[in-house]
């Protein structure tokens, strides 16, 4: 049977030309490219064949596979399945046993596939903690490496070790990149779970430009992990104004105030959640009223969900008020510098945040009493 291009495959799935172009525009947006690039993406996808994918799953909760399956925006979900020809995914494929292994072997023998790895790799006890079909995760990964174009470590466990690698790390879990050891390019797509839009955008970039997108020093694509959540957070105005939630259900929480004091790690986390959101742009943790837990950062599980992020390390006084100084009084010289550097408005906002964060927490406003209808 003649192999279809991605656009042709999309058409057979009922995706109209209009929806296809809308998808290309959205991908250009997610990839932080100028609008004109959507045409380049459309041309590339109109001529590209689907990318074969081998998806290996090791030590994790399968949350990233779940996230892929939950992408329900019609054109996107169809296109995800059309852009990615997932030849082997032991969790979701219909085949099982020898049939599944045969599908994987055929793809490995053909080469030229994208190797997506979900979950961390246990090195303890010679890899005995995670075995599939009699082979350890280390063996399975090394077996699939030679024919791979590139490796995508999907989710925080694969990218950074995640929960399995948290102290005391009983299985000796390591990130995928440790096992790959430079033999193939590795792109990390952390998140707990990953946002499937970022996986699709990575593949679209690969098909359009023939290379992986630019990455930061943690191997994360800059289009998705280049901006700090705190800088794009819809609650940021409340942070600057010194308006904080100090107890779940208090007045500030009900009014949508900043969640920093509840442990929000937005100031130390780089991810495009505010722009892309989860569940097809429906919501994300901060919008839902819970602070960011830094799930796309290394070692996030060790940070403690309710510990306050260390602003001093990430928020230089030139751009933020010195909110963590161990004094109860404002330093006029400091606030003057802030005003001079950032302007009167930012200076005033900084003073408000300083005032609120540099004094002990006030008694939280109790949530309203629940009334029961009689």
Over the range 253-281, which residues count as b (16 or more CB within 10 Å of their CB) and which as e?
beebbbbbbbbbbbbbbbbbbbebbbebe
CA angle, 224 then 230 then 236, to 5° = 135
Give the nearer residue to ligand SF4 in terms of CB position, either 193 or 266.
Answer: 266
118-126, 152-160, 252-260, 348-356 -> range binding ligand SF4 (CB under 6 A)? 252-260
Residues in the chain: 374
Considering only the stretches 47-55, 217-225, 255-263, 333-341, report the one whose residues sit in contact with ligand SF4 under the rule CB under 6 A.
Answer: 255-263
Q: Are the CB atoms for 213 and 223 separated by under 8 Å?
A: yes
68 or 323: whose CB is closer to ligand SF4?
323
Q: Which is nearer to ligand SF4, 118 or 243 (CB)?
A: 243
Question: Among positive and negative, which fits the CA dihedral 290, 62, 179, 104?
Answer: negative
Strands (E), 47-189: 51-57, 84-89, 113-118, 121-122, 131-132, 135-136, 148-154, 173-174, 186-189
Q: Does 104 bind ligand SF4 (CB under 6 A)?
A: no
Residue from the set 127, 242, 266, 285 that interacts with ligand SF4 by CB under 6 A: 266
270-329 positions binding ligand SF4, by CB under 6 A? 286, 291-292
CB of 274 to ligand SF4, least distance (A): 8
261 binds ligand SF4 (CB under 6 A): no
Which residue in the shown chain puts its C-beta closest to ligand SF4? 266
Q: Is 295 helix (H, G, I), strand (E, B) or coil?
A: coil
Assess contact for 150 and 186: CB atoms under 8 A. Answer: yes
Count the residues of the shown chain that bind ligand SF4, applying the rule CB under 6 A: 15
Does 151 contact ligand SF4 by CB under 6 A?
A: no
Q: Is residue 208 a contact partner of residue 44, using CB atoms and an 8 Å limit?
A: yes
> Considering beta carbons, is residue 216 or 231 the nearer one to ligand SF4?
231
Q: Which of 116, 108, 107, 104 is nearest to 151 (CA)?
A: 116
Taking CB under 6 A as the binding criterion, the range among 2-10, 67-75, 264-272, 355-363 that sits at the site for ligand SF4 is 264-272
Helix (H/G/I), strand (E/B), else coil: 221:
strand
According to CB under 6 A, which residues from 215 to 244 bind ligand SF4?
229-230, 233, 235-236, 239
Q: Is 349 an interacting residue with respect to ligand SF4 (CB under 6 A)?
A: no
Residue ranges in contact with ligand SF4 by CB under 6 A: 229-230, 233, 235-236, 239, 258-260, 264, 266-267, 286, 291-292
């Amino acid at each position: 049977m003649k192999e279809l291009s991605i656009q042709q495959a999309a058409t057979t799935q009922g995706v109209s030309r209009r929806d296809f172009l809308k998808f290309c525009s959205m991908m250009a947006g997610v990839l932080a490219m100028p609008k004109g690039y959507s045409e380049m993406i459309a041309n590339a996808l109109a001529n590209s064949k689907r990318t074969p994918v081998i998806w290996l799953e090791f030590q994790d909760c399968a949350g990233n596979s779940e996230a892929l399956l939950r992408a329900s925006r019609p054109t996107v979900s169809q296109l995800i399945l059309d852009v990615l020809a997932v030849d082997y995914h032991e969790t979701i494929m219909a085949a099982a046993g020898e049939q599944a292994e045969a599908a994987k072997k055929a793809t490995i023998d053909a080469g030229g596939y994208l190797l997506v790895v979900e979950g961390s790799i246990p090195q303890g006890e010679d890899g005995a903690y995670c075995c599939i079909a009699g082979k350890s995760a280390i063996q399975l990964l090394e077996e699939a490496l030679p024919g791979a174009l590139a490796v995508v470590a999907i989710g925080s466990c694969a990218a950074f070790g995640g929960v399995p690698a948290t102290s005391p790390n009983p299985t000796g879990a390591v990130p995928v990149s440790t096992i790959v050891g430079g033999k193939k390019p590795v792109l990390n797509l952390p998140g707990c779970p990953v946002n499937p839009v970022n996986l699709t955008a990575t593949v679209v970039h690969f098909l359009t430009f023939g290379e992986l997108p630019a990455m930061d020093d943690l191997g994360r694509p800059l289009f998705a992990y280049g901006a700090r959540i705190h800088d794009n957070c819809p609650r940021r105005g409340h942070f600057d104004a010194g308006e904080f939630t100090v107890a779940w259900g208090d007045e500030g929480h009900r009014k949508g105030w900043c969640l920093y004091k509840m442990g929000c790690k937005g100031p130390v986390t780089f991810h495009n959640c505010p722009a892309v959101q989860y569940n097809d742009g429906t919501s994300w943790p901060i919008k839902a009223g819970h602070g960011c837990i830094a799930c796309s950062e290394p070692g996030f599980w060790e940070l403690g969900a309710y510990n306050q992020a260390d602003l001093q390390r990430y928020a230089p006084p030139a751009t933020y008020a010195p909110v963590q100084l161990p004094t109860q009084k404002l330093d006029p010289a400091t606030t003057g510098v802030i005003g001079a550097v950032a302007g009167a408005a930012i200076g005033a906002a900084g003073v408000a945040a300083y005032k609120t964060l540099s004094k002990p927490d006030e008694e939280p406003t109790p949530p309203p009493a629940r009334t029961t209808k009689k």
